[in-house]
Amino acid sequence: MTPAAPLVYLVGAGPGDPGLITRRGIECLAAADVVVYDYLAAPELLRHAPAGAERIYVGKRAGDHTLSQAEINRLLVERARAGNTVVRLKGGDPFVFGRGGEEAEALADAGIAFEVVPGVTSAVAAPAYAGIPLSHRRLTATIAFVTGHEDPDKPESGIDWAALACGIGTLVFFMGVKTLPAIASALIGHGRDPQTPAAVVHWGTTPRQRTVTGTLADIAERARQAGVRPPALVVVGEVVRLRERLNWFERRPLFGRRIVVTRAREQVSDLARRLSALGAECLETPAIRIAPPEDFGPLDEAIAALAATDWVVFTSVNGVDFFFDRLEAAGRDARALAGVKAAAIGPATAARLKSRGGIRSDLVPETFRAEAVVEAFRREPLAGRVVLLPRAAGARPVLPRELAAMGAVVREVEAYRTLPEPTDPAELIARLEERAVDLITFTSSSTVTHFLDLLPPARREALLAGVPCACIGPITAETARRAGLAVAVEAPRYTIEGLVAAILAWAA
């Protein structure tokens, strides 16, 4: 995918919360052959780039520069001249202390076409997430953004400290943690009241956010005692007083909780998104993947025999999807189920059945497990009735065994398989070693089994010692307990909503 122009997009990734990137930024990522990204760009954003796109990390941290700015400029020019669509993904906004201007100059000098995609700057977003409005009619009408780390090669400071100290209501300093004592001293020395409120916001807009408040007189010492390190912003002004009333982000019920999500890659984001919205920091570690059966023959034969089928029982969303995919592959649609009754375990499965085929479940079990389906069927005449079960390979035998005991002719077919996901466990293991995991979530027995396989057998017990887990229901919980895991949360309602609610109750 290589359009004639522009060849390079300078894209603002936003301040850390991946939801704050612009739609245009996502469109550019989707068209990228090469993504050159920063330390402050949320890793989740790389998923918007094609799987085959080259990803090059050029992050800069204090004392740790992967590439110099000159080398980054050359890299952009080289990749563009090779005919690639290049996305330079930069934290915040490219043109607000992001050195995007220097990169744009290098591209212009080389005759490379480029486009600038603005981003949400951390100067605005981090204070907002800390409950600090930068302007307020009662408090200030002026705002200034200032670098806390000027170019060391400049012969003298370009900052007019006297004007800042007495002429601007709200001051926001980028990269000012290390120089915070000097910043406070300069402002006080040029006439700013030492009792002016001040705040330092660390990792703003992310679940790692931490805010330290004080006054110009003591903020440097407070930040030092709290161990605040870059990346962080410094806010100075009367507006900081509003944080006590307006702090919304850090008061969310799961704020600061570090939760591992182990669902299949196709489904992991849904649970992670719900938990993140409640303040959790989610480490997505897919333990399983959903795959087609080795042979579609039995499922296709069962679909061909629907006219002689009395019931179809769907036990999962995946079973619905694979069933209807094969139905459509055969050139048929939901009309093939005319006269066939349908049962679905759980509201998510019932909703997917309705959306894929426009079919409402004829049987609704009281709880969302196989045993409840068996109980519900006891009210149905099953002797001699043909019941089709399109479900996962290796599923629990309770349902077909009990239905057969009631006289049904059970046709169980493999609709899909649950396989281990080849996930790199390095980050997970590092977090477990650091004791930086508060909860591990499991949504099926297979996620438990394959998650454990990600860990080195000899170290598994030590890594998981004392780490609680949350399970979607009793079957999953029993699998976890048999594996020696500490089950702290067992959802009484076996749905993602029920699991989230149970986690909230545990956290409270």
Residue 454 pLDDT exceeds 90: yes
Q: Is 252 exposed, middle or buried (0-12, 13-18, 19+ CB in 10 A)?
A: middle
Peptide bond into 231 cis (omega under 30): yes
Q: What is the gyration radius of the CA atoms in the chain, in angstroms?
A: 28
Residue 374 pLDDT exceeds 60: yes
Average pLDDT of the residues in 444-460 = 94
Q: Return all residues near 167 (Cβ < 8 A) that are at least 6 apart.
A: 142
Model confidence band, residue 366 (pLDDT cutoffs 50, 70, 90): low
Average pLDDT of the residues in 111-132 = 96
Given this model, what pLDDT does residue 3 score?
47
Given this model, what pLDDT does residue 64 score?
56
Average pLDDT of the residues in 474-495 = 92
Average pLDDT of the residues in 311-315 = 93
Question: Alpha carbon of 103 to those of 71, 90, 94, 281, 434: distances in Å?
Answer: 10, 11, 9, 33, 38
Residue 383 pLDDT exceeds 70: yes
Given this model, what pLDDT does residue 219 score?
97
Residue 368 pLDDT exceeds 70: no
Residue 198 sits at the vertex; the CA angle it makes with 192 and 202, to the nearest 5 degrees, is: 145
Measured N-to-C along each axis, helices 496-507 and 265-277 cross at an angle, to the nearest 10 degrees, of 40
Model confidence band, residue 59 (pLDDT cutoffs 50, 70, 90): confident
Mean pLDDT of the chain: 91
Measured N-to-C along each axis, helices 398-405 and 370-377 cross at an angle, to the nearest 10 degrees, of 10
| C-alpha–C-alpha distance, residues 303 and 340, integer Å | 12
Which segment, 9-18, 393-402, 491-500, is predicted with the most confidence on average?
9-18
Residue 304 pLDDT exceeds 70: yes
Lowest-confidence segment of 44-53, 114-123, 226-235, 392-401 by average pLDDT? 392-401
Given this model, what pLDDT does residue 453 score?
94
Given this model, what pLDDT does residue 346 score?
81
Q: What single letter denotes the amino acid at residue 317? A: V
* Closest to 259 in 3D by CA, of 466, 441, 17: 441
Model confidence band, residue 154 (pLDDT cutoffs 50, 70, 90): low
Residue 250 pLDDT exceeds 60: yes
| C-alpha–C-alpha distance, residues 234 and 130, integer Å | 11
Active site members: 38, 60, 175
262-280 pLDDT, tens digit each: 987 777 678 998 999 999 9
- Percentage with pLDDT > 70 across the chain: 95
Lowest-confidence segment of 96-110, 353-367, 375-389 by average pLDDT? 353-367
Given this model, what pLDDT does residue 2 score?
46
